[in-house]
Structure 1
Amino acid sequence: MSNAALEKNIYSRAYIQEIREKITPIVEKVIKPNADMIDREGMFPRGNLQALAKEGWTSVTIPERWGGLNLGYVGLSVVAEEIGRVDASTGLVYAMHVGAAQVINIFGNDNQKDRWLLPIREGAIGTFSVSEKATGGHVWYNLSQAERDGEDFILNAEKSFTTSGGQADFYVVQTRTANSDDPSDHSFFIVNGHDEGIRAKAWKALGVRGNHSGPLAFENVKVSHRDLLNAASGDILNGTGTVLGLSAVWLGVAQGALDAAVAHVTKTVHKGFNKSLADYQVIRQKLAEIKIQITGLRAWQLDLARHYDELLETNQPLTQLNTEVTELKVQSTELADSAARVAMDVAGGFGYIEGVFERIYRDARGGIPMAPSNNLAREQIGRELVNLPLELWGDGK
């Protein structure tokens, strides 16, 4: 794909539609046919990511200097939604990869970008390794702490729910800062995913079975000082638009559920009454309600994406949109869950047969506990409303 083929105008519906049309062939010809196999076998979707990399989509937000398409957060939102529409596992891996690459794009120096961003066009995959079992969904708080080794660092950490765990070519790893007594002071490292000290545990789950978000251990992993990122606490997930990408995936899951439901009710005929399921008003209204909600959230998704692109263009921090992006995450993941339940409902008994309905039903639920989990997200928003600090910070209230 060439940027020259696009007249870049983030406010143009034609521009957004053109991006959607350009990603559609890979989604329909590569990712969609693999979705059932990825789910059934718990297979990591490396082939899907390689197909995306070949056309530059895994570098969607990266400047052309480092092999990217430079389509920004609008491009990411469209592409992540289209992938999520047919396979949540690939969508989740994709969004976390783009987020990790964007960390390096925003906070990395040119040397780091040369070494870690350029290989993405050849198929390299990145991800985050942030959360820890001991502190759960409080991803802004770690117990692990980096150790100094001369100029370099040693990492010993037990991480939980690392998407692409054991599969990624590089990890953006968060620990407490070496030699610091401040529990809110964190450092971020780019870690080679092929280091012998990295141990991944098996991933077996209800849904999104191909994303391999299992526990990951770093055992005496040495990291060069060259791969310490110049980022402060709070910059990584909130300051890179990662949660926005994840929201787009689950918006796509909702759309996929609606697509499957519409296809089923329009082709299924009750011959005794000579009516299709689509002839029943109650079914049409259930589907219409999901459609209305998807349309509203898509507009909100793209509005926030445009804001992100504008902030980057003017060198302003993305963190000023934290609360609104968290609100979007809650609504998009819960809409996916609602859409999957409606699809299962209108499919009747056929929804319980192994296939698209039961897979989407299981996958859709995965977005709700995903950091920031919706319960914690509501607590974060509520504490901000009443001017209280995050848990485990400040006075610990």
Structure 2
Amino acid sequence: MSNVVTEKNIYSRSYIEEIREKVKPIVENVIKPNAGLGDKEGLFPRESLLALAKEGWNSVTIPEKWGGLDLGYVGLSVVAEEIGKVDASTGLVYAMHVGAAQTINLFGNDDQKARWLLPIREGAITTFAVSEKATGGHVWYNLSQAVQDGDEYILNLEKSFTTSGGQSDYYVVQTRTAGSTDPSEHSFFIVDGHQEGITAKPWKALGVRGNHSGPLKFENVRVHHRDLLQVASHDVINGTGAILGLNAVWLGVAQGALDAAIAHVTKTTHKDFNKNLADYQVIRQKLAEVKIQIAAVRTWQYDLARQYDELCKNNQSLLPLAGELTEHKVLATELADTAARVAMDVAGGYGYIEGTFERIYRDARGGIPMAPSNNLAREQIGKGLVGLPLELFEEGK
């Protein structure tokens, strides 16, 4: 994959389309055929991830020095969107993996990068372990706290909704800093996922059944000081662009729903009137409205990705884009839900039976409650509009 692109012009549509054409064979030949079975049996998409790793896509934002393709956030957006078109579960696993790996790329030292980033090309998978049941979607607030013991830290905690929980080779784990009483002080550890004391609970859900996003427990897990990341900000998920990758997945889900709907209405004919479903104006207009919304969200997706890449190029913080990214998250996830509902609607009874349409419909709901949930996101956005403080940190009484 060293010749993915001949010239990096992130403002060129041809650049984006070249990346898209390069990743499509894996998406169509490996990920898409496994999507239905993965949903039905709740299978983690290991085969798909290994195929992506072999071609370097799991290291899409990582510099070539550490085994990556160095295609930045534009590259991540293209790949995550293409995966989302055929399988939301694999897309979520992929986006969270790339986001966690990018955290090490941005904040890790050379020793950490050599030990944790290079194995990605051989199939190693990582993810974030951040949220906790007690504080829900307030992922910036952890009650858990590391305990320092000499050169090591001891972790006793449980994380909720950890994508790839029990499947990842290592985790980027967020806790309150050892010895601190300040909830804004966080530590981020790279934790080997194969050591004893890490237990994942089963994942059973309405949709995205293959992403294994269940509770993850750490009992007396020791982490050496050399695997403590030197992160300046508590807002790592926004500060590394992980949500940008997730948004691209939901954009892909919307496009996948539209593609499935178009394929159905153009091949289905009512023999009594000898009319194709696509001959009905009401159906065409429903599809057109989804297409218009997808075009708008996609334009915003790649504009944000380019801005992220520019900031990285200049070694600047990504946090200034966090507010806009939250706004985009709301729009992208709700577009996926809208597109899935329209697809089921125009497919009629065939949309309601078990299969592609109902799977997309179930999967598409998953983005709305994902942190920050859209209700919480709107509250954050609204407070900013009227000049009220976010009040992120307040000790419970």
TM-score (norm 1): 0.98
* Residues 246-325 of structure 1 aligned to structure 2 (within 5 Å): 246-325=246-325
Rounded Cα–Cα distance in structure 2 between residues aligned with 1:11 and 1:168: 34
TM-fit CA distance, 1:2:
1.5
Rounded Cα–Cα distance in structure 1 between residues aligned with 2:372 and 2:235: 15
TM-fit CA distance, 1:394:
5.8
Paired positions, count: 396
Rounded Cα–Cα distance in structure 2 between residues aligned with 1:228 and 1:390: 28
* Residues 1-397 of structure 1 aligned to structure 2 (within 5 Å): 1-3=1-3, 5-393=5-393
Distance 1:137 1:5, change over 3 A: closer
Instruction: Let me know the Cα RMSD of the aligned residues.
Output: 1.1
- Contact 1:287-1:342 within 8 A present in 2 as well: yes
What is the DSSP-based 3-state SS (H/G/I as helix, E as strand, rest coil) of the residue aligned with 2:162?
A: coil
- Contact 2:5-2:15 within 8 A present in 1 as well: no
Question: What code does the residue aligned with 1:35 have?
Answer: A
- Contact 1:340-1:357 within 8 A present in 2 as well: yes
Question: What code does the residue aligned with 2:336 have?
Answer: A
What is the DSSP-based 3-state SS (H/G/I as helix, E as strand, rest coil) of the residue aligned with 1:83?
A: helix
Rounded Cα–Cα distance in structure 2 between residues aligned with 1:227 and 1:100: 14
How big is each residue's C-alpha offset from its partner over 1:191-245, in whole Å with a ceiling of 9 and x where there is no partner?
0011111010000000000000000001110000000000034341011000000
Question: What code does the residue aligned with 1:43 have?
Answer: L
What is the DSSP-based 3-state SS (H/G/I as helix, E as strand, rest coil) of the residue aligned with 1:155?
A: strand
Distance 1:107 1:201, change over 3 A: same
Rounded Cα–Cα distance in structure 1 between residues aligned with 2:152 and 2:384: 37
Distance 1:390 1:3, change over 3 A: farther
Question: What code does the residue aligned with 1:251 have?
Answer: L
Q: Give aligned-pair identity as a percent.
A: 79
What is the DSSP-based 3-state SS (H/G/I as helix, E as strand, rest coil) of the residue aligned with 1:161?
A: strand
Rounded Cα–Cα distance in structure 1 between residues aligned with 2:340 and 2:198: 36
TM-fit CA distance, 1:145:
0.4
5+ residue gaps, structure 2: none
Rounded Cα–Cα distance in structure 1 between residues aligned with 2:394 and 2:138: 14
Runs of 4+ in 1 over 4 A off after TM superposition: none
TM-fit CA distance, 1:352:
1.2
TM-score (norm 2): 0.98
Question: What code does the residue aligned with 2:174 have?
Answer: Q
- Contact 1:127-1:170 within 8 A present in 2 as well: yes
Question: What code does the residue aligned with 2:270 have?
Answer: H
- Contact 1:44-1:212 within 8 A present in 2 as well: yes
- Contact 1:35-1:86 within 8 A present in 2 as well: yes
